[in-house]
Amino acid sequence: MAHFLLVHGANHGAWCWRDVVPELEARGHTATALDLPSHGADKTPIAEVTLDAYADKILAALDGPTILVGHSAGGYAITQAAERDPTNVAGLVFLTAYVPQPGKSLVDMLGEAPEQPMKGAFDMAPDKKSFRFKPEFLTRALYGDCPDGTYDYAMAHIGWQPLSTQTVPATLTGASDTVPRRYIFCTEDRAIPLAHQKQMAAGFSADETFDLATGHSPFFSAPGPLADILDRIANAT
């Protein structure tokens, strides 16, 4: 049995993992879904949010060996946490996620993508400190393969994303290199296309990667198959 900490990506919260937690529990594991600062039930003001604050929230949630699963932008958050203190990090799982590179922010890495499906996908807040996905992008690229009702559920919960977490590089000291890493490719992703995922996971060996035939939000479209892969990862860690 393993314990998982599920870390959401941009604009989302713990709410997006609602279907994955019971699937992992049915496979004998325990799982906690986390609201990063200013997301979901966490009321941290956007002006106070940093990548280090994300790492602090993750590390505070660890009380024993835990596999961190980061979705999309959550790849930066889980890496920053493991760099700060890998003691209780039993593994890092990047779910169609950004894998930080030295000196590069998430915005930098987005700009290097072979395709640019996120161009024009955001509405900026008037103060330019946060952004939110446009509804048409959510429908087309994030939830297009998800069950009926997903869009309405997400729109009731989705929030503003602090830009400050995406414009600074992760602090890479090599500490996270001691932690087992896995990458789950979402092969039909229309937000982070497979070519970009492959580019970011170039340092992973074949036995460290898994394919999932979904779009960008497998926690909604395929929670069972996603849990199957996480179960395989836990049993191999």
Residue ranges covered by each domain of the chain: 3-236
Distance CA 179, CA 82 (A): 8
Encode pLDDT of 43-90 as tens digits.
999 999 999 999 999 999 999 999 999 999 999 999 999 999 999 999
| Nearest in space to 164 (alpha carbons), one of 73, 95, 93, 86 | 73
Burial of 230 (0-12, 13-18, 19+ CB in 10 A): buried
The answer to whether 103 and 170 have CB atoms below 8 angstroms apart is no
Encode pLDDT of 89-145 as tens digits.
999 999 999 999 999 999 999 998 888 888 888 999 999 999 999 999 999 899 999
Tell me if the domain spanning 3-236 has CATH number 3.90.120.10. no
User: Degrees (nearest 5) of the Cα angle 117, 146, 215?
Assistant: 40
| Nearest in space to 51 (alpha carbons), one of 30, 29, 70, 23 | 70
